[in-house]
Amino acid sequence: MKYVPLGSSGLSVSRICLGMMSYGDSPSRRWQLDEDMAEPIVRRAVEAGVTFFDTADIYANGTSEELTGRLLRKLFARREDYVLATKVYYPTGPGLNDQGLSRKHLMAAVDASLARLGTDHVDLYQIHRFDPATPIEETMSALHDIVRVGKARHIGASSMYAWQFAKAQYTAEAAGWTTFVSMQSHYNLLYREEEREMIPQCLDQGVGVIPYSPLARGLLAGNRDRDSERRTLRAASDALADARFDTHADADFTVIDTLRAVAAEHGLPPARIALAWLLRRPAVDAPIVGATKPHHIDDAAAALEVTLSDDDIARLEAPYTPHPVLGHS
């Protein structure tokens, strides 16, 4: 495993982050694993040197945070030995103030997350989306107070337009408040719209990028094909993948076909090549990898050692065509 600072902060993270959305108890996501099934996979990640773990209060109705906290306490000797990230924004209850980025919800949500995680602080507290209904001054002031009292060490953001991110950062800087150290973007070989504005902004401002869905919800690992065959339980039941990726689009499957060809030439699985490409993109610190089988961890860790030539990279990138902006709501 390799380790890097997260953006321009002093927080060291493993170059692979394990996404914990795959674990928990949610009837609508049949592919999620319970704690007994998740433990050997998380243990494999820890043995591989992964120290960075990302969850959210909305995942599996909060059970992902509960499971994450229990497993990390079991697998690490000290709280200081791992980096724990969670997120806030989406509804976690029926009330009008059970969602969004108001001061009321942020203060309640961070305490609820800490209770579920079984810790007194998270290392990275992220806003899951931009909240147009709340003044940005209110959000950034509340996040600053959460850091100031020690409930979070750093703050991050996820999936928004570059102008929204710039507005939030400027507001915090102007007031002397805590600024974001990371951006959790939707970014992979099939979706590269972040390269237009968000990635350059993060590079300029020293913000670390921690891409989610690095394998396009399994498409880059081969969980579907051109004739719509669904090869895994997740592929057959993941409505969000259906919404975000047109699995009949010739352009997307041309990218996938090229990925498979490059992978075959290297004698490696396509997932490993797709991750190797992403790990070498500017500003990317740690792709957030979802794993439901032990070999998913092995592929992710091994991607750090893959060498792609300039020709490999050019071939992988050439078939891409512009996509509608996805994932900001």
Of 98, 140, 146, the residue nearest 123 (C-alpha): 146
pTM across the whole model? 0.93
Q: Which CATH number fits domain 3-317: 3.40.50.2000, 3.30.70.890, 3.20.20.100, 3.20.20.80?
A: 3.20.20.100
pLDDT score of 232: 52
- Please give the pLDDT value at position 236: 46
User: 205: pLDDT confidence band, cut at 50, 70 and 90?
Assistant: very high
Q: How far apart are CA 291 and CA 54, in angstroms?
A: 12
Neighbour-count burial for 258-269, b at 16+ CB within 10 Å, e otherwise: bbbebbeebebb
**For position 228, what pLDDT does the model report?**
62
Q: What number is the average pLDDT over the span 92-118?
A: 98
Residues acting as catalytic residues = 59
Residue 21's pLDDT is what?
96
Share of the chain above pLDDT 90, in %: 88
pLDDT at residue 250, as a whole number:
81
According to the model, what pLDDT value does residue 28 have?
Answer: 64
Q: Would the pLDDT of 207 be above 70?
A: yes
Q: Helix, strand, or coil here: 112?
A: helix
**What is the mean pLDDT of the segment spanning 105-118?**
98
Contact in structure between 275 and 289 (CB atoms under 8 Å): yes
Q: How far is CA 246 from CA 190, 229, 243, in A?
A: 11, 13, 7
pLDDT in tens, 239-266: 555 555 654 578 899 999 999 999 999 9
For residues 156-160, average pLDDT = 98
- The whole-number average pLDDT for the span 73-81 is 98
What phi and psi values does residue 290 have, to the nearest 5 degrees?
Answer: -90, 140
pLDDT at 231 over 60: no
CB atoms within 10 A of CB 322: 9
Residue 304, pLDDT score? 98
* Half-sphere exposure of residue 224: CA atoms within 13 angstroms, side-chain side: 25
Q: Which long-range contacts (CB under 8 A, 24 or more apart) does 94-100 make?
A: 100/131, 100/133, 100/134
How far, rounded to the nearest angstrom, does the alpha carbon of residue 18 sit from its chain's CA centroid? 8
- Of the two residues 311 and 28, the one the predictor is more confident about is 311
pLDDT in the model for residue 64: 97
Q: Does residue 151 carry a pLDDT above 50?
A: yes
Angle 94-183-243 (CA atoms, 0-180°, nearest 5)?
A: 60
Q: Quickly list DSSP for 113-129.
A: HHHHHTSS-EEEEEESS
Instruction: Determine the Cα–Cα distance for residues 185 and 57; give it in Å rounded to an integer.
Output: 18
pLDDT 10s digits, 23-72: 998 766 777 999 999 999 999 999 999 999 999 999 999 999 999 999 99
Q: Which uninterrupted H or E stretch holds 107?
A: helix 103-117
Q: In the structure encoding, which two tokens stand for residue 127, read together?
A: 């806003």
